[in-house]
Amino acid sequence: MLMTHNHPILSAVDLTKTYQVSTGTHGRRRLTALDRVSLQLGSGETVGIAGESGCGKSTLAKVLAGLLMADSGTVFYKGTPVAELNSVEARLFRRSTQMIFQDPFSSLNPRMRIGDSIREPLIIAGLPPEIQQRELERHMAAVGLPMDASNRFPDEFSGGQRQRIGIARALAASPSILIADEPVSSLDISIQAQIINILLEMKREFTLSMVIVSHNLLVLRHLCDRIIIMYLGTIVESGPAEKLFQSCRHPYTEALIAAIPGIHTAMSGGRELLQDDIPSPLDLPSGCRFHPRCRHAAHICRTTPPVLTEYPGHHSTACHRSEELYGVR
């Protein structure tokens, strides 16, 4: 039975996900997208997942949303493994967990008017037509779309407007969890700000718990309570958003923050930026996966994988030299 007392609304333990990929003359090889990843999402909390392309953050989002199955590990919904939910509970999980995709156009049916797209979850829920109409008007207004837009098709809208449509469609299912995969990465800066403000307003109005995937740490700093930093399928650091910016504990996080325009001059103090490309997930480094790019790497970093260790303030890091480099704070 579904348990709700004293549990995060969504959590994951030891998620592993691999793919078999073709490498031409070398045949097929295993690509590790997630390697024993664990996290928790509290009710009303917003958690950000950051890292370079290829770190596994989008795969993690899709596994949490139930769009991909992990090879091993467990996703829990209100304390119960998703795989053990009965049919009624599974439908509730699917309705309660909605996803906003990076490319809103590909997630919308090009032959369906956007009013019908937003209304679709309401029809599936079996709501009467008058309630469907009221909810359609409510959600379109919430994302700043006029009602006369409901009769138009997706290709008649700009990228920012289509992202608003995607948000409205996700909200129409009355979710408690919203998972957004790079929701603003393809948009102009001014449009990004509008979508960020919409997401903040949606969180307040609809009491949402959110997971937001982005390579843009400034976006996550603005939106999130906590930020998780991923590197080659593992979590290397996690902590409260402001604490991560003010006193990070991992060289990779330090380099990501130092690379942010404007923050580099004020915060980096001449720290070295990332010099090389991220290694291929088909050929993972031994020991700490970041060591080939880390200027602080020692012998232990090259031979022994670090353990994710918690420090004061709900701040965790996987770095052999964290205390030596950053102290205990």
Inside any domain, residue 288: yes
Residue 103 lies inside a defined structural domain of this protein: no
pLDDT of residue 3: 45
Q: Is residue 307 assigned to a domain? A: yes
Q: Which strands form 10-22's sheet, in the order they lie side by side? A: 28-41, 10-22, 72-77, 80-81
pLDDT band at 153 (very low <50, low <70, confident <90, very high): very high
Q: Within 13 A of 227's CA, how many CA atoms are on the CB side?
A: 25
pLDDT of 185 reads 78
Domain assignment of residue 303, yes or no:
yes
Alpha helices in 42-158 (DSSP H): 57-64, 87-96, 114-124, 129-142
Look up the pTM and report it: 0.90
Under a CB-based contact definition with an 8 Å cutoff, are residues 236 and 52 in contact? no
Does 324 map to a domain?
Answer: yes
Instruction: Quote the domain boundaries for residue 254.
Output: 247-329
DSSP tally for the chain: helices H, then strands E: 12, 12
Mean pLDDT, residues 148-158: 91
Residue 306, token pair as written in the block? 């670090």
Query: Which two structure tokens, joined as six digits, stand for 30?
Result: 């295993």
- Give the count of domains, the chain: 1
Whether 49 maps to a domain, the answer reads no
| pLDDT one-digit tens code per residue, 298-324 | 999 999 999 999 998 889 999 999 999
196 assigned to some structural domain:
no
121 assigned to some structural domain: no
Average pLDDT of the residues in 8-27: 88
Q: Which residues contact 29 (CB under 8 A, 6 or more apart)?
A: 20, 21, 23, 282
